[in-house]
Chains A and B, each alone.
Chain A
Amino acid sequence: MTPKEKMAIPSQAMPEQAPLERAHNMNEVALGFTAEMAKTEASRCINCTNKPCMQGCPVAVNIPGFLAKAADGDFAGALAVIKETSLLPAVCGRVCPQEKQCQKFCTMGKLLKDVDKAVGIGRVERFCADYVRENGLGDKVVCAPATGKRVAVIGSGPASITCAADCAKAGHEVTVFEAFHKCGGVLVYGIPEFRLPKSIVQHEIDGLKAMGVKIETNVCIGRTRKLIDLMEKDGFDAVFVGTGAGLPKFMDIEGENLIGVFSANEYLTRANLMKAYLENEADTPYWHGKRVAVLGGGNVAMDASRMALRLGAEKVYLIYRRSEAEMPARKEEVHHAREEGVEFLMLQNAKRILGDEQSRVTAIECLKYELGEPDASGRRSPVPIQGSEFTLDVDTVVVAVGNASNPLIPATTDGLEIDRRGNIVVNPETNMTSIPGVFAGGDIVLGAATVILAMGEGRRAAAGISAYLAK
């Protein structure tokens, strides 16, 4: 087929649950392609010479390579190509901001002058991973002969899962330490079921176990055991720190400690990890907010506002101080949130939260903003409009303005260098920290970032660990 003929192939729409139906259940919103749709979508790739999509991918997945196989219906072969560089395609296919990465640079999108008409790379990726998982087609991972070296992996989010898998493949004996009672990190406590089914995360964890990785839940390194003791007393030869960005930021405004104000972490963890939405089964209560304000414009803010609808909210405001164009959230999540009935209040920001005599939230006072000059991030900075205050009646406020690095490991590990934001400093080529044999990666190094970047970090650290252990 010529590029022109390929341009005529319609881009395949993702089948989805109807907006008003899904806003009241926890099931996955995007239902996934059929095999036919996946083949058709993959066949839209014109296999252009300079492969700009790959440059847009943080881990440089061989995108045209896997799309060619998928177009032929060889989904297992396609997945094998993806897995050369990405360990978590079922997750990344769902949560990567493709419109800012691979699909942003897709030639098809450029030809059709619409990034939304780029090849649906993420959707095909997701299909391949789901197809192989659901049909039990995955090859058994073959690990290298045992090296006799022991690696401790702290945390079990995307960076840690990747590092653990690669270390196990390299023949090291790996133990994962997770503070929570369940593995998966942000994939299980943060990202909701309706966006990333937990069975997919569990499949990845089961994959680690099948490779011989030991999993120790309910162990908080830094408290239950000091990091240094793992190496000096427990016989680990290397340690990977993948403890993430688990320290919620607040706005530092009046009323933020009122009852009914939650960090997005708490709000989502109650519903996701603790299963509070199963009201008659779960012991953890959730907050029965009817009128909810969510502060922020990232994926977490979208997740929280959509979760609020599913937990019975009648009105959900998403309050963001810049305009929609600056929102860091994945485009599809913004679209889904709006479809489900979240009301977007752009160029507005919370000034203070008001409460009653019981210290329960009654309202939020906001200020309107306009866009000024671009700031350090390149985004036009919002400037408050004096005297534009207005009040919204709400009973719940969810603060989703980001996370800082979890300080527990640095605070309990002498000699571990951190930067002024609290992120662990690493050698960019090996991901080794200031302590020999201790590596780090993911959000604890990058600050709050994405799953795929965390995965890339875990992979680089695993390579760094193997090189270090070979010395």
Chain B
Amino acid sequence: MNKIVAKKQLSENVYRMDIEAPLIARERRAGQFLILMVDDSVGERIPLTIADANPATGTITIIFQTVGATTIKLSKLNVGDSIAAVLGPLGKPTSIRGENGEAPGHIVCVGGGIGVAPMHPIAQACKAAGNKVTIIMGARNVSLFVMEEEMRTIAGENLILVTDDGSSGRKGLVTDPLKELCEAGGVDEVIAIGPPIMMKFCSLTTAPYHVKTTVSLNTIMIDGTGMCGGCRISVGGKTKFVCVDGPEFDGHQVDWDLMMKRMTAFKPIEAAAREHVCNLYKGI
């Protein structure tokens, strides 16, 4: 179960893995995520988005960045190794414009950093439902782009690359072209996935234009099925659980500052754990 069948390092800290998970590959829809454990005795449960799935081969694709103890351990696994526990697909699938009777329109997908990975199946589904899809990909520099070719396949010439340092595409932030597109008009929906700060500013950018803005959140969670409540956030003044009410929410309603603070709850402990794991691997 959960055998790694392919592994590729995409950049210094970003990895792509294809994993045998036929049940998840069969059921998953765009927007859903999984929870995995590298060690099912004393390991931790972490949520990761599903970047791709192939029901025919029974495999799913994850793309992850080594940010903490578990993702570092995960990155050390190789083809042929198995991941101790993989649970999914979790969360509600994305509601894709055009799939439920409404007319297709123009959707702008904004992916920041490895947020492009979870954006991939969503952009694919948007395209398949007949929408015009514009994709804005942003990263600090060119080496941090993932899935550029896959995204180009979907968006064609409507793929806009933005880097902080101008090493690829436009120099600046994803909100720059986003604002221009909103200004030009005709945008029916914006879907933004990336670091919380990026999603917050995308939401702030689109708000004056009243463009529907969907964001996909990845908060701290344990079970992923609504049992612990650790992932809770405030949306429009109401408490919501990211795992079962989300992971997608109206970006204009999310209390971003509270959410970002909640994500730092265990930061000092996580940093110590990361240090510990790094030292372990240094010794090998």
A269–B88 contact, CB under 8 A? Answer: no
B223 touches A269 (CB 8 A): yes
User: Does the CB pair B85–A281 fall under 8 Å?
Assistant: no
**Complex: how many Å from CA A270 to CA B222?**
8
CA distance A359 to B39 in the complex (A): 32
* B42 CB within 8 Å of chain A: yes
User: Is A146 part of the contact surface with B, judged by Cβ < 8 Å?
Assistant: no
Is B27 in the interface zone, CB < 8 Å from A? yes
Given A248-B227, A266-B222, A407-B226, also A224-B88 (CB < 8 A): yes
| A225 on interface, CB distance cutoff 8 Å | yes
Please determine whether A284 and B44 come into contact, CB atoms closer than 8 angstroms.
Answer: yes
Closest partner residue, chain A, to B27 (CB atom) = A224
**Residue contact B222 to A257, C-beta cutoff 8 Å:** no
**How far apart sit A130 and B122, CA to CA, in the bound complex (Å)?**
54
Measured between alpha carbons, how far is A247 from B232 in the docked complex, in Å? 12
A259 and B261 contact, Cβ closer than 8 Å, known pairs A224-B89, A250-B239: yes
- Using Cβ atoms and an 8 Å threshold, which residues of chain B touch A219? 23, 87
Contact B23 A285 (CB under 8 A): no
Do A224 and B244 have beta carbons less than 8 Å apart? no
Asked if A274 is at the interface of the complex by the 8 Å CB criterion, the answer is: yes
- Segment with Cβ contacts to A, from B5-13, B141-149, B201-209, B265-273: B265-273
CA distance A151 to B270 in the complex (A): 42
Cβ distance B239 to chain A, nearest Cβ, rounded Å: 6
A225 touches B230 (CB 8 A): no
Across the interface, do A218 and B225 meet the contact criterion of CB distance under 8 Å? no
Do A408 and B222 have beta carbons less than 8 Å apart? no
Q: Which of B233, B261, B270 is the one whose CB lies under 8 Å from A285?
A: B270
Main secondary structure of the interface of A (DSSP, over half): loop
A359 to B262 CA separation, bound complex (whole angstroms): 8
| Neighbouring B residues of A281 by C-beta, 8 Å | 42
What's the least CB distance linking A440 to chain B, in Å?
17
**Which residue of B is nearest A248, CB measured?**
B229
B90, CB-defined interface residue at 8 Å: yes
Tell me the B244-266 residues at the A interface (CB within 8 Å). Answer: 244, 258, 261-262, 264-266
Are the CB atoms of A223 and B89 closer together than 8 Å? Answer: yes
Q: With A179-B87, A281-B42, A283-B70 in contact, is A220–B225 under 8 Å at CB?
A: yes
**Which of B45, B229, B264 neighbours the largest number of chain A CB atoms within 10 Å of its CB?**
B229
Interface string of B268-282 (1 = CB under 8 A from A): 011001000000000
Task: Tell me the minimal C-beta distance from A294 to chain B in angstroms.
Answer: 15
How many chain A residues touch the partner (CB < 8 A)? 42
**What chain B residues lie within 8 Å of A250 (beta carbons)?**
229, 239
- Per-residue A-contact encoding for B170-204, CB less than 8 Å = 1, 0 else: 00000000000000000000000000000000000
Could you say which residues of chain B place their CB within 8 Å of the CB of A223? 27, 88-90, 225
* Closest Cβ–Cβ distance, residue B127 to chain A (whole Å): 25
Our pick among A259, A265, A282, A359 for the contact of B227 (Cβ within 8 Å) is A265
With A181-B37, A182-B40, A247-B226 as known contacts, state yes or no: A257 contacts B85, CB within 8 Å: no
* A408–B273 touching, CB < 8 Å: no
Is B86 in the interface zone, CB < 8 Å from A? yes
B233: which A residues are within 8 A, CB to CB?
Answer: 257
Whether A408 pairs with B225 at a CB distance below 8 angstroms is yes
B84 at the A interface (CB under 8 A): yes
Is A283 touching B42 in the complex (CB atoms < 8 A)? yes
Which A residues are CB-close (under 8 A) to B39? 283
Assembly CA distance A182 to B262 (angstroms)? 27
Is A85 an interface residue, CB under 8 A from the partner?
A: no
Please tell me if B228 contacts chain A, counting CB pairs below 8 Å.
yes
Contacts of A246 in B (CB 8 A): 223, 225-227
Which of A248, A256, A282, A288 sits near B228, CB closer than 8 Å? Answer: A248
Residue of B nearest to A249 (CB): B229
B45 contacts A284, C-beta separation under 8 Å: yes
User: Chain A 263-286, CB within 8 Å of chain B: the 1/0 string?
Assistant: 101100110001100100111110
Q: Binary interface profile of A, 170-197, with partner B (CB < 8 Å = 1, else 0)?
A: 0000000001111000000100000000
* Given the contacts A250-B239, A257-B234, A269-B228, A278 and B262 also touching, CB distance less than 8 Å: no
- Say yes or no: is B63 at the interface (Cβ < 8 Å to chain A): no
Does residue A12 face the partner (Cβ distance < 8 Å to B)? no
Taking the closest CB of chain A, its distance from the CB of B94, in whole angstroms, is 15
Q: Which residues of B contact A270 (CB under 8 A)?
A: 222
Question: A residues within 8 A CB of B244?
Answer: 407-408
> Which residue among B43, B226, B233 has the maximum number of chain A CB atoms within 10 Å of its CB?
B226
Within 8 A of A (CB), among B148-186: none
Q: How far apart are the CA atoms of A225 and B27 in the complex, in Å? A: 7
Judge whether A274 and B222 touch: CB under 8 Å.
Answer: yes
| Residues of chain B in range 21-48 having any CB-CB distance to chain A below 8 Å | 23-24, 27, 37, 39-45
B residues less than 8 Å from A180 (CB atoms): 223
Question: For B44, B69, B70, B84, which residue has the most chain A Cβ atoms within 10 angstroms?
Answer: B44
- A101 at the A/B interface (Cβ < 8 Å)? no
How far, in whole Å, are A281 and B86 apart by their CA atoms in the complex? 21
Looking across the interface, which residue of chain A has its beta carbon closest to that of B90? A223
Select from chain B the residue with minimum beta-carbon distance to A243: B225
Once the chains bind, are A359 and B261 in contact (CB under 8 Å)?
A: yes
Minimum Cβ distance to chain A for residue B40 (Å) = 4
Digit string of A284-308 for contact with B (CB within 8 Å is 1, else 0)? 1101100000000000000000000
Q: How far is the CB of A188 from chain B (nearest CB, A)?
A: 12
With CB as the reference atom, state the residue of chain B lying closest to A246. B227
Q: Which 10 A-B pairs have the closest CB atoms?
A: A283-B44, A266-B228, A246-B227, A285-B269, A263-B229, A284-B44, A359-B261, A181-B85, A181-B40, A282-B42
B-side residues, CB < 8 A to A, are 23-24, 27, 37, 39-45, 69-70, 84-90, 222-230, 232-234, 239, 244, 258, 261-262, 264-266, 269-270, 273
A contacts, CB < 8 Å to B: 179-182, 189, 217-220, 223-225, 246-248, 250, 252, 256-257, 259-260, 262-263, 265-266, 269-270, 274-275, 278, 281-285, 287-288, 358-359, 406-408
Known A179-B87, A189-B227, A250-B239; further 7 A-B contacts with Cβ < 8 A: A179-B223, A181-B37, A219-B87, A224-B27, A247-B227, A283-B39, A408-B226
What are 30 A-B interface contacts by the 8 Å CB criterion?
A179-B224, A180-B223, A189-B223, A189-B227, A217-B85, A218-B85, A220-B224, A224-B23, A224-B27, A224-B87, A224-B88, A224-B89, A225-B23, A246-B225, A246-B226, A250-B239, A257-B233, A257-B239, A257-B262, A260-B265, A262-B229, A266-B229, A269-B227, A274-B44, A281-B42, A283-B44, A284-B43, A358-B261, A359-B261, A359-B262
